[in-house]
């Protein structure tokens, strides 16, 4: 089977409010702007479903399948939809927060941390009508938005991914939490997913003027060296305004500093 899939990138941080969903949404569009032929799939693994809402998914769609259905039962298939911006997506649902017992029930067939990997490589449910046959054959990049916890779904993202991107807000608690994620990633590398790599620690919501922020960035670069991206994402009210309108930053203000920063990040990580 020929594959065009270049990378599966999990965006992970166990702290909430650090820009994981914004990073997934913005990176997806920035990748498509960088190369018009690239197809990008985003997967929402957060029960809050914020990424799904930004894709214009509506919980009132009722019985239409979500990532929860795909992971709940042996033989489940990832349902793929397409947003009006051309980003393909697998939506979440609030039922995802109660899925762990159903995932454990499948352990006799497969390790519960590898269910998402199996679904990515297996048959999919094409809800676009475009004739999508499989994820490796159809997509260039897959981005996974994780919940703000080291939950079983987050471990599934690590089990499926080839790369890990950690958005880091320039605050003490956010910076302090990096170590535990690195430890869990190392354990995954030693066991279930030896191909997993750290693709970067991404400073986000950066206001570089206060000395304390400069100190956090300096600490990160001293402690983690080249693992810290050269690109930093500035704090931006335009992103908040865009998401209030359920738009991405390029649709709303394509030349804003935040939009330019995500384009720089694409060049840094994917060129």
pLDDT band at 23 (very low <50, low <70, confident <90, very high): very high
Query: Pick from 20, 63, 16: which is nearest to 42 by CA?
Result: 20
**Mean pLDDT on 49-66:** 85
Counting Cα atoms < 13 Å in the Cβ hemisphere of 59 gives 10
> What are the structure tokens assigned to 168, written together?
């880091």
**pLDDT digits over 211-268, tens only?**
777 788 888 888 899 999 999 999 989 999 999 999 999 999 999 999 999 999 999 9
Buried b or exposed e, range 74-92, using 16+ CB within 10 angstroms:
eebebbbbbbebebbbbbb
pLDDT of 15 higher than 80: no
Looking at residue 148, its pLDDT comes to: 87
Please, what are the domains in the chain? Answer: 7-270 (3.40.50.300)
pLDDT of 11 higher than 90: yes
Query: Pick from 25, 135, 131: which is nearest to 78 by CA?
Result: 135
pTM of the model: 0.94
Query: Which percentage of the chain shows pLDDT scores above 90?
Result: 76
Q: How many angstroms separate the CA atoms of 59 and 45, rounded?
A: 15
**pLDDT digits over 120-159, tens only?**
999 999 999 999 999 999 999 999 999 988 899 999 999 9
Give bridge partners of residue 160 from the DSSP assignment.
none
């Amino acid at each position: 089977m020929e594959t065009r899939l270049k990378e599966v990138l999990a965006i992970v941080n166990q702290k909430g409010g650090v820009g994981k969903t914004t990073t997934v949404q913005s990176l997806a569009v920035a990748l498509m702007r960088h190369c018009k032929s690239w197809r990008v799939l985003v997967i929402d693994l957060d029960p809050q479903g914020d990424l799904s809402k930004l894709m214009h998914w509506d919980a009132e769609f009722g019985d239409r399948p979500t990532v929860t259905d795909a992971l709940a039962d042996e033989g489940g298939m990832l349902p793929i939809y397409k947003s009006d911006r051309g980003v393909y997506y697998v939506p979440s649902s609030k039922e995802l927060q109660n899925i762990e017992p159903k995932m454990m029930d499948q352990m006799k067939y497969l390790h519960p941390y590898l269910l998402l990997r199996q679904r990515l490589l297996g048959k999919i449910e094409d809800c676009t009508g475009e004739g999508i046959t499989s994820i490796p054959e159809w997509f260039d990049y897959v981005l996974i938005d994780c919940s703000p916890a080291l939950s079983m779904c987050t471990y599934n993202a690590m089990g499926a991914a080839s790369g890990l991107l950690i958005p880091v807000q320039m605050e003490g608690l956010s910076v302090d939490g990096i170590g535990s994620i690195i430890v869990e990633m190392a354990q995954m590398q030693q066991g279930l997913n030896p191909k997993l790599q750290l693709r970067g620690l991404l400073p986000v919501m950066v206001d570089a003027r206060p000395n304390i922020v400069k100190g956090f960035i300096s600490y990160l670069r001293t402690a983690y060296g080249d693992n810290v991206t050269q690109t930093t994402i500035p704090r931006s009210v335009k992103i908040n305004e865009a998401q209030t309108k359920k738009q991405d930053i390029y649709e709303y203000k394509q030349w804003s500093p935040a939009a330019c920063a995500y384009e720089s990040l694409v060049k840094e990580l994917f060129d």
